[in-house]
Structure 1
């Protein structure tokens, strides 16, 4: 038995998948803040260094666990780089372009449809607020960023539910440009207008 291996298993083709499965379960159950790379590694039966090898940072692991076609951290850069003026329109254009793309929309719909499950609410909240709206609020140097981005989220999540999940007409078939023209001023007001 001198040749028997002890300790954690080495990297193998199924190791990446095991890490992702463990990460999804942890992020869903404990949210972003409550999840550690060490905890994910323990659940997957690997060393934490292997998690970093495959995925890099905890943020990178979280994005991979969401299985999104678009990395939200990269996608929001044009919204931020343009400054506060016009950010509502840029954010709305980005949002509609992602959700109107059927390939990008499918994994997002899986997340949204699972929102009734309390564990999956963490993925939706952390994925949307932490990875999309949090960087927008910080990058635009908004006053009261949490309050402003929560108001923006209320509009965008409502739109997702009515247009993409429930397919309520006429919203479901409204052209993208009309949606942008309708919602952008509201988002801009939340981002830069006076708050009561």
Structure 2
């Protein structure tokens, strides 16, 4: 019987996925989205990079998983984009509010927002979430200048999250969802498809 130590990286185990996710969270927090690589996350977790791809797919997917968002915004927004740019502002907002107003989902979303605001100084949102997760999805709704339009939409949505859910400022916190859609939806539509200076 050989007493040689096994060589190479250890195989996947039940807790390997969690270890990869922990390594990814640390890397994204310390190095940002651009500075994090699948290879570096794998090395930190002590696994082969192929195993990271097996569990999470792309770096974008790993990033979404590391944020621990209770829903994948790309999946939630897909029907909004599929219906086309006409009326997208209201559809986008109605979908957004439907997710945020869900009592099963809202606590997890609030935890993510508070964590990012407290620990990240905006880096993961600025470098990862907006350009990697939200930007490519919303780009399917804009006729031109996505580099201007998508941040305008994001600014409106972030402001809505802060006023309605984080700070719960009246009357935003108590306003019925359909009133929010009627009042803010046209602004989003303008950002998506209207004439911009």
Counterparts of 1:1-196 in structure 2, within 5 Å, are 2-117=3-118, 119=120, 121-125=122-126, 126-137=128-139, 139-196=140-197
Deviates more, 1:123-132 or 1:17-26: 123-132
Contact between 2:152 and 2:191, CA under 8 Å: does it hold in 1? yes
Deviates more, 1:59-68 or 1:121-130: 121-130
**CA separation in 1, counterparts of 2:39 and 2:61?**
15
How far did 1:104 drift?
A: 1.9
Instruction: List alignment gaps of at least 5 residues for structure 1.
Output: none
SS at the partner of 2:105?
A: helix
How far did 1:39 drift?
A: 1.0
**CA separation in 2, counterparts of 1:128 and 1:105?**
20
- Deviations, residues 9-46 of structure 1 (Å, cap 9, x unaligned): 22111111000001111122223222111011011111
How far did 1:154 drift?
A: 1.0
Contact between 2:142 and 2:193, CA under 8 Å: does it hold in 1? no
Tell me which stretches of 4 or more aligned residues in structure 1 moved more than 4 Å.
none
Instruction: List alignment gaps of at least 5 residues for structure 2.
Output: none
C-alpha RMSD over aligned residues: 1.8
How far did 1:128 drift?
A: 4.0
**CA separation in 1, counterparts of 2:122 and 2:44?**
21
Contact between 1:111 and 1:120, CA under 8 Å: does it hold in 2? no
How far did 1:120 drift?
A: 6.0
Query: How many pairs are equivalent?
Result: 195
